[in-house]
Amino acid sequence: MVRTAVLVSGGGTNLQALIDTAERGEMPSVELALVVSNSAGAFALERAKRSGIRAEYLEKAAFEERLNALLEAEGIGLIVLAGFLRILSADFTRRWAGRIINIHPSLIPSFCGEGYYGLRVHSAALARGVKVTGATVHFVNEIPDGGEIIAQRAVEVLPGDTPEALQRRVMEQAEWIILPQAAEKVAEMLERS
């Protein structure tokens, strides 16, 4: 099993999907060992604690330095960004190359890159009038949302959609499915390498 850290900033529904998948025994290569938030009030921290996973908040000052120390101390082999809304430095992403993945709520290369996060992504998709959107899991490199794509799933945009309604459908029909699948796939690859 690969000791895995999940980085979060908010509600943590993607973290919950990872926890639920692990509890069902469907992610055998992933050991959820650590949850780190850059936001003290993130409900994701509660979700981690409830499931007996170590949960840490790290403040802005020396964030990456402290994060690296924590990851090393916990023997982490895979990092999953699950609604983590801070951009990581090139130094950090290089250090963890091939071991860090992210879920993004659109079909990359649409509606991605700096400034596209959370509801903003869905507002932009609705403003452009696309009929299909979705989610993407990708490796993280120094370019925001620019790393190699691991998995994607399409979701229909429906007449009358609000950003909130579309966000919920993309989560239910894409994110919560492909993130655990991709985490398992990458962990399995890492175990074999």
Transcribe 25-91 into DSSP letters: T--TTEEEEEEEESSTT-HHHHHHHHTT-EEEE--STTHHHHHHHHHHHTT--EEEESS--SPPPHH
Q: Strand 149-156 vs strand 100-104: parallel, antiparallel, or unpaired? A: unpaired
Residue bearing tokens 């690969």: 2
User: Contact at 8 Å (CB) between 9 and 39?
Assistant: yes
Q: Which of residues 116-175 bind ligand GAR (CB under 6 A)?
A: 117-118, 121, 171, 175
Binding-site member from 82, 150, 155, 183 for ligand GAR (CB under 6 A): 82
Q: Strand 149-156 vs strand 78-81: parallel, antiparallel, or unpaired? A: unpaired
Cβ nearer to ligand GAR, comparing 110 with 191: 110
Binding-site member from 77, 83, 134, 180 for ligand GAR (CB under 6 A): 83
Cβ nearer to ligand GAR, comparing 10 with 180: 10
Residue bearing tokens 């780190």: 36
Instruction: Using CB under 6 A, count the residues that bind ligand GAR.
Output: 17
Structure-block tokens of residue 34: 């650590």
Chain residue whose CB lies nearest ligand GAR = 83
Indicate if 138 belongs to the active site.
no
- The identity of residue 136, as a single letter, is T
Q: CB 191 → ligand GAR: shortest distance, Å?
A: 25
- Which x/- pattern, by CB under 6 A, does the window 62-81 give for ligand GAR? --------------------
The reply to whether 21 sits near ligand GAR by the rule CB under 6 A is: no
Positions touching ligand GAR (CB under 6 A) are: 8, 10-14, 44, 82-83, 103-105, 117-118, 121, 171, 175
Q: Which residues are catalytic?
A: 104
